[in-house]
Chains A and B, each alone.
Chain A
Amino acid sequence: MSIAITTQIICFTILSLVILIGALGVVLLESIVYSAFLLGGVFMSVAGLYLLLNASFVAAAQVLVYVGAVNVLIIFAIMLVNKKEDLKPINDIKSRRIISTSICLTLLSLLIRVDLTNVWSLSSPLNSIGEESTIRIGEHLFSDYLLPFEVASVLLLMAMIGAIVLARRDVMSQDISTGLPVDQELIEKSSEPLLTNKN
């Protein structure tokens, strides 16, 4: 076994372990902040797997979009609304656990079936495109994948309009959460003084 292959196997093992343990942590940890940060770690390791597969552009795009945008926004949202209160106890927790476990197991069996039936190996290792992938992705985005590409941009536009409606207070005359009339001068200003109702 050559050194290159050994390195690849070691990297693959570490990355897969990080992905598995990290993903379990995201689901099982009580603290939502830890879950969010672990999610970032999982995204990074998936990017690492892409790198191992010689898809460096996809890896960088994964980091940029999932870690740099999605995960940062998740953490941002958590920190803006984080109230540090205990979760309410759920009364029929047992039946919920049974249902969710069975759904997950069904999904798992479907994925295992996919893994076993699909033919994964390339016809020859020379068919991999490696560094040329950037150009090929661009060609596909502007030819046969043009419609999905444009539909995704419409989706982003919708999300943006929604965010603007929520953020611009002069659209609505009263605050959504408190019902108070809106002070339209400074966006960053809190709607009530921070220290009045403490102590």
Chain B
Amino acid sequence: MEYGLDLEYSFNEFLKGFGLSSEIAHIIWLPLPMLLVLVAAVVGVLVTVWLERKISAAAQQRIGPEYAGALGVLQPIADGLKLLVKEDIIPAKADGILFTAGPILVLVPVILSWLIVPFGQNLLISNVGIGIFLWIALSSIQPIGLLMSGYASNNKYSLLGGLRAAAQSISYEIPLALSVLAIVLMTNSLSTIDIVNQQSGAGILSWNIWRQPVGFIVFWICALAECERLPFDLPEAEEELVAGYQTEYAGMKFALFYLGSYINLILSALLVSILYLGGWGFPIPVELIAKFLNLPINAPFIQVFTASIGIVMTVLKAYLLVFIAILLRWTTPRVRIDQLLDLGWKFLLPISLANLLITAGLKLAFPQFFGG
């Protein structure tokens, strides 16, 4: 599968045309995809916040934001500006250094994880060999930031929220990693590119969701729990803990938490679509359409078309999942802490273990369907 646009190569060739060395060209290239993905993530957050407000309003038979821009589309920007100019308060008895470092530690790993999200064959920041494993490792850093901010706030609610967040994210990480492992087993690779390519054989029929239905559900539940979305938002349960570890935060530091949680939600949705819903693949393989229309697959305009379809499909699938997550948030009650831990340890963990075992068995029994 060595086709598709390679923007990096063309960009470097373009710069070399001006007489720059390949190293300088590489250095000029490096920040571009990072900036692009950062901008994409922030715009994604704005869209998600707007969706959340509108969909929750619809679920509760309200209108929601309406006056800021058409249909209230500028509302998230207004929210962001408000948080930006608010006074930055550090409580008098809080631990200033840890209080500031906490939100940063929560946000940075989430943004770093976008390194491995592919929007097309060559449309990702870095095709690192460890791929999806990098995301699992990075997401395990987050609880430290949560514990840090919970502790530094010097507030019982914050500390309890931080402890709950850490306990929750530790216990849901295990079934999450096990269901990813089943996919990796079928792909023979940790790279997200290989995972998508392995699903691209027969369009929608070869997506992993048909081969891993149990894994898909386990992964989605765990991803919601990792994002601390309702029904799993115990760390910030407002009736019990005010706002959990965020209680003492205001202004930009609170905005970092807010941004982090929404970027994490979009990231999880993107990863579900990459792992189970064929990533950038169109439901009908693009090569098939091109062959049907008698078009050469390597022609430049077909490549541009394929790449844009890829980006659109990835974003579309991700936002479909975000939509489901938002609907879930506004229609389900919160689980209790003992129900949460029971679900994680007594239900999801055994199920994902069994899923891994069955996947390994099926892979050996039917290598043509489950990857050889």
Contact = CB atoms under 8 A, between A and B. Distances in A.
B162 to A, nearest CB: 8
A131 B53 CA distance: 44
Contacts of B357: none
A169 to B, nearest CB: 14
B271 interface: no
Interface string A64-76: 1001110110011
Contacts of B130: 56-57, 60, 134
A188 B190 CA distance: 38
Contacts of A3: 23-24, 27
B133 A60 contact: yes
B176 interface: no
Interface string B41-79: 000000000000000000000000000000000000000
Contacts of B137: 60-61, 63-64, 68
B148 interface: yes
A33 interface: yes
Interface in B140-195: 140-141, 143-144, 147-148, 150-151, 159, 162-163, 166-167, 170, 173, 190
Judged by DSSP, the binding face of B is: helix
Given A3-B27, A64-B137, A79 B147 contact: yes
A2 to B, nearest CB: 7
Nearest to A58: B130
Interface in B187-243: 190
A122 B98 CA distance: 42
B129 interface: yes
A65 to B, nearest CB: 9
Interface of B: 23-24, 27, 98, 101, 128-130, 133-134, 136-138, 140-141, 143-144, 147-148, 150-151, 159, 162-163, 166-167, 170, 173, 190, 337-338
Interface of A: 2-4, 33-34, 37, 40, 44, 56-57, 60-61, 63-64, 67-69, 71-72, 75-76, 79-80, 130-132, 134, 186-188
16 contacts: A2-B23, A3-B27, A34-B98, A37-B98, A37-B144, A40-B144, A56-B130, A56-B134, A57-B129, A60-B133, A63-B138, A68-B137, A72-B140, A76-B167, A130-B129, A188-B337
Given A3-B24, A40-B144, A60-B133, 12 more contacts: A37-B101, A57-B133, A60-B134, A60-B136, A60-B137, A64-B136, A67-B141, A71-B144, A72-B144, A75-B147, A79-B147, A188-B337
